[in-house]
Structure 1
Amino acid sequence: MNDILPESFFHKPTLDLAKALLGCILVKHTDQGVASGYIVETEAYKGPEDRAAHSYNNKRTKRTEVMFGKPGHVYTYQMHTHCLVNVVSSEMEKPEAILIRAVEPVQGIDLMYERRGEMPSKNLTNGPGKLTKALGITMEDYGRPFFEPPLYITKGIIPEHISTGPRIGIENSGEAKDYPWRFWITDNPYVSRRR
């Protein structure tokens, strides 16, 4: 746990942080054990001017409140039956966040199978709802800092190549659907979609 990234790590412009998170390790402690994975895919959401962001037009609700706070905190939200996890970014009162879309399993793989069932290993965590279920991340993690247990991010590997493309599942967001704000480790098998 000595490699937990400090709060200062998260004080970067959102697009830079979205790339810097690639290769870092997302770790969750639960009563069942510890599960972790290399972050291999992220999506940046640049708040007030980004029609795909929950905080578009500075929309402040009970759900988005944490995004108006300090960077490096957990923004979880429910999408259908899935909990999705985001890293709050940018400065106070500028509500931006980065969705963690996929991880490559590192620790607690048996625990991930218990939670997700039998399947090819590359399908365990290759999507934002899959990875939260596999790691045991829930809505209860909302608002926690990412720099102390039970949910934190540590140093990992530095990717050789990073690919960039449009974000996924935001068709009704006008020109924002084409912004190249999705980042992934090139050719990693755990990325949710390679295009």
Structure 2
Amino acid sequence: MNRVFITATNTDVGKTYASEQILKYYANKGLKVGYFKPCETGVIKEPLDGSKMLNLVKKLNPKFKATIEDVVPYQFKLPAAPYVAKEDQNIDLEFLKDKINYLETMCDFLVIEGAGGLKVPIKKDLFMVDLINIFEAKAILIAPSKLGCINDILLSIECLKGKNIDFDWYINLFQDKDSYKEVSKPFLEDYFGKLNYLHELD
């Protein structure tokens, strides 16, 4: 089973957009895709990100019969880190792994979307980055193109390497697009060589 965990350098970087692009990419390769978001915060009536992705997956893979409760099992009202948003509720890791196993009966490539950045706390001693190894997934790190992205990219990559996590990373070119080529791209190209952009994934 192939699993990828979509994470980012911070919040509002484009994880859901990246999930959409990657789901379409692998569906076009003939794979039956699936989607899972362990927890979503800021939920009022329904999880907006999870619902959008579930609708997409059902179009790409009609055999994916999961409900929104299967796809986003933990839904919290407060738009904050899960550690805070969950209040007194326990986030059960075994329950989440069981959900993954269930969803994998309906697909052969599963996209798991995290919340916020790598060091967003879930429990006092458990962070978003830890779920990647717990779920035995490959990470896909999404980075913005805005001023400050160099620092965020380097710190996030250092964090992933420190946890011995296999990963790819992409720049989501949507913030500070006009200044990115002058302000951030020169160093990133010198440091990394070829850069991968999310919008070029096809």
With structure 1 as the length reference, what TM-score do the two structures score? Answer: 0.28
As a proportion of its length, which structure holds more strand? 1
TM-score, with length taken from structure 2: 0.27
Query: Comparing both structures, which one devotes a greater share of its residues to helix?
Result: 2
